[in-house]
Chains A and B, each alone.
Chain A
Amino acid sequence: MRYVDEFRDRAKADVLVKEIERLLAHTGRDQDRPLQIMEVCGGHTHTIFRYGVEGMLPKSIELVHGPGCPVCVLPMGRVDDCVAIAEHPEVIFTTFGDAMRVPGSRRSLLQAKADGCDVRMVYSPMDALALARQNRDREVVFFGIGFETTMPSTALTVLQAEREGIKNFSIFCNHITIVPTIKAILDSPDLRLDGFLGPGHVSMVIGDAPYEFIARYYKKPMVIAGFEPLDILQSIWMLLRQIDEGRCEIENQYARVAPAGGNAVALQAVAQVYELREFFEWRGLGSIDHSGVKVRDAYAGFDAERKFAVPNARIADPKSCQCGEVLKGVIKPWQCKVFGRACSPETPLGALMVSSEGACAAYYQYGGIKRGRDETEASVA
């Protein structure tokens, strides 16, 4: 496939790995502490595991899998809210497939569906709007989740619904923003990151400028990266080059898709429909100021939070789950007490086991569990 296959070339990957090894030796870093690079985006986590990128890298480079999987950081209370909306008999509750199995405190959307609620998976929010068009006697609610990548799609869908005068459509808005979250991570005292792989598809919407503070005030380099294995390797190489040359800049490896200025139409739609929330609750990271958006008053008729009285209760994660520590890179997935035992992709306890973009599910699916255990045993022996 064009723009995909050529970025999966094994020979080029080998070249990059050699260059990474050479640069790493040249930096003359203290080898006692691994170089820690966080990939912020869950899409990157997915690529890294699917193609075994970690296994190709020198052991002294550690990839820390960041919080960029919107399904994984969704707190349990929000899933309960979804189920509460879906329980209304007139509602058709629509969602991306990823969110179906996220556990709530009582049940997931999948269980609610099995119990008779009308919950449907859709590919696009526009498909949800089509359902509203076809079922005028029902209330169609779309579960809006995701970072800035997905935000324009739900905003444009609301604008389309308004144009058509469709009254039986609304969004349950749980969109989150990446920049306050990166800042919260940078402010966390137990973190020692050396650089970031920037989220390519968020950047395609918001551009490069919102990240400038990371280089300027926190003195950390970032490379905005694409999603094929060569993209990841090249971005790590670019980060190492910055570290080697003592630079801290926001560079863009993914210029073929993410222009420096972002997407003006998408940003305009987002600004028209949404405004920042005071704070938003994240699973594992707690409450982060201005990290989520809500529907503006002008579009109140399309806001499921106002149409249906949602419980909006704060539900603590199961005590045995260590999703928060994994999210911040403090522990590795296999070091969690319930990993692979009480918590697996079939019966997830924690959110990181639910989505294929979650660090735990990725370790579980792609054999990282073995690598991790081997390393742990080697260090004990």
Chain B
Amino acid sequence: MCLGIPGCIVSIDNADDLVATVDVSGVRRQINISCIVDEAHPVESCVGDWVLVHVGFAMSRINAAEAAETLRLLQELGELQAELETMQTLTDAVAAEE
């Protein structure tokens, strides 16, 4: 029940009641978008938004930059680890030669 799922808003169906249609992996349904609309982000700018959908409500606009940043950190961690492992392997190899 507490799970949420990312979806993309494809149309605004009722701007007064803040009802929109969201596409979640090909499944479409109407959701309420009250929680993602404010003066800085009016109704008409919501089409194309990726949102976290929970029990029929868009609860948050997914921040693409933050998502990329999380993945970049993980990528870097992997690269650092690979480098350290290479360093270790080569150091061990040199030690074995001696």
Flag if B2 contacts A357 (CB, 8 Å).
Answer: yes
Q: Which of chain A's residues has its CB closest to B74's CB?
A: A12
Would B6 and A43 count as touching, CB distance under 8 A? Answer: no
State A1–B50 Cα separation when bound (angstroms). 12
Instruction: Contact check, B81 vs A201: say whether CB atoms are below 8 A apart.
Output: no
Residue from the set B31, B73, B77 with the largest chain A CB neighbour count within 10 Å: B77
Task: Name A1-58 residues within 8 Å CB distance of B.
Answer: 1-4, 6-7, 11-12, 15-16, 18-19, 41-43, 46
CB distance from A150 to the nearest CB of B (A): 6
A218 to B19, CA, bound (A): 43
CA distance A125 to B31 in the complex (A): 11
Is A263 part of the contact surface with B, judged by Cβ < 8 Å? yes
In the complex, residue of chain B having the shortest beta-carbon distance to the beta carbon of A14:
B78
B75 contacts across to A, CB distance below 8 A: 12
Per the bound structure, the CA–CA distance linking A258 and B70 in Å amounts to 13
Residue pair B2, A147 in contact (C-beta under 8 Å): yes
Chain B residues with CB under 8 Å of A19's CB are 77, 81
Chain B minimum-CB-distance residue to A265 = B35
* Tally of contact residues, A, Cβ under 8 A: 57
Inter-chain contact B59/A156, CB cutoff 8 Å = no
CB-based contact B6/A3 at 8 Å: yes
Q: For window 247-285 of chain A, which residues contact chain B by CB distance below 8 Å?
A: 253, 255-259, 263-266, 269
How far is the CB of A358 from the nearest CB of chain B, in Å?
Answer: 11
Chief secondary structure at chain B's binding surface: mixed
Contact (Cβ within 8 A) A146 B60: no
Residue B96 is within 8 A (CB to CB) of chain A in the complex: no
A83 at the interface (CB under 8 A from B): no
A262 to chain B, nearest CB (A): 9
With both chains docked as a complex, state the minimum distance between the C-beta of A53 and any C-beta of chain B, in angstroms: 15
Docked pose: A125 CA to B1 CA in angstroms: 12
The B-contacting residues of A in range 210-259, CB under 8 angstroms, are 227, 230, 234, 253, 255-259
In the complex the two chains form, is A149's CB within 8 Å of B63's CB?
no
Q: Check A205 against B55 for contact (C-beta < 8 Å).
A: no
Q: Is B34 an interface residue (CB 8 A)?
A: yes
B residues 58-88 with Cβ under 8 Å of A? 59-60, 62-64, 66-67, 69-71, 73-75, 77-78, 81
Q: Is the CB of B35 within 8 A of A123?
A: no
A150 touches B38 (CB 8 A): no
A98 CB contact (under 8 Å) in B1, B8, B32 = B1
Interface status of A68 (Cβ within 8 A of chain B): yes
Which chain A residues lie closer than 8 Å to B2 at the CB level?
Answer: 41-43, 68-70, 146-147, 149-150, 199, 201, 357
Chain A residue with the shortest CB-CB distance to B68: A256
Asked if residues A123 and B60 are in contact (CB atoms below 8 Å), the reply is no
- Residue A186 interfacial (CB < 8 Å): no
The CA of A3 and the CA of B7, in the complex, are separated in Å by 9
User: Could you tell me if B74 and A16 are in contact, using CB atoms closer than 8 angstroms?
Assistant: yes
Asked if B48 is at the interface (CB within 8 A of a chain A CB), the reply is no
Closest to B30 in A: A126
Known A-B contacts: A19-B81, A160-B17. Give 19 more (CB < 8 A): A3-B6, A3-B50, A12-B78, A15-B74, A41-B2, A97-B1, A124-B57, A127-B56, A149-B59, A153-B32, A153-B56, A153-B57, A199-B2, A201-B4, A204-B59, A227-B3, A227-B4, A255-B69, A265-B36
Residues of B within 8 A of A (CB): 1-6, 8, 17, 25, 29, 31-32, 34-38, 50, 52, 54-57, 59-60, 62-64, 66-67, 69-71, 73-75, 77-78, 81
7 closest Cβ pairs, A-B complex:
A124-B56, A256-B67, A256-B66, A3-B6, A15-B78, A255-B66, A43-B2
